[in-house]
A and B are shown apart, each in its own frame.
Chain A
Amino acid sequence: RKEVEQDPGPFNVPEGATVAFNCTYSNSASQSFFWYRQDCRKEPKLLMSVYSSGNEDGRFTAQLNRASQYISLLIRDSKLSDSATYLCVVGGGGSSNTGKLIFGQGTTLQVKP
């Protein structure tokens, strides 16, 4: 089983749609959770951290369910510029926090006009 699993997609949605991505992780001791965004042939960039209580940043909402080891990202009112690959990232979980992040394969989103 992969340590962080995501549906690779692609998700093809029209502008203005709401789209949700899910991710599961295998290490129940994981301590930190993130969504990164990676544009085609570019480097990953932090989109948002994911807090236990859930958090929102504009059109983006992230949720964490520790009991189910499940993370989600909701994008409302999709824009063409949201087209990218979204990487679910999990950190910590070892006996020492060495900064090791585990990346999912990514979910590709294509927003169409």
Chain B
Amino acid sequence: DTAVSQTPKYLVTQMGNDKSIKCEQNLGHDTMYWYKQDSKKFLKIMFSYNNKELIINETVPNRFSPKSPDKAHLNLHINSLELGDSAVYFCASSQDFGTGVYNEQFFGPGTRLTVL
């Protein structure tokens, strides 16, 4: 059973389109995250939610909008896609928020987004 799952795994789309990526975790965790890993391999936090409440909202374009319908799901909607949005997007979850050594973050397999 996959602990953190994302769909789709690959997404190829044209500039200007709107797309969504879905994430689900079955670990019973309260906190979920979205990360972006660019071509230089830097992994950067975009958003986090704790029990459906927004906790972290990094400086990302407002074309990116996360939605958490319940604590097991965190989706990412992207409007008006741009070439620079091409990256791998990882969802993650942890028991709660906080960076204690007890609070391991578990990552999904990633969604490879290519904008043409």
Contact = CB atoms under 8 A, between A and B. Distances in A.
B113 to A, nearest CB: 14
B105 A105 contact: no
B99 A99 contact: yes
| Residue of B40, B41, B50, B96 contacting most chain A CB atoms (<10 Å) | B41
Contacts of A100: 45, 48, 56, 99
Interface size class of B (residues with CB under 8 A): 20 to 34
Given A43-B109, A43-B110, A99-B97, A106 B41 contact: yes
A26 interface: no
Interface string A78-100: 00000001010001100001111
A32 B33 contact: no
B56 A98 contact: yes
B45 A105 contact: no
Nearest to A99: B97
Interface of B: 31, 33, 40-45, 48, 50, 55-56, 90, 94, 96-101, 103-105, 107-110
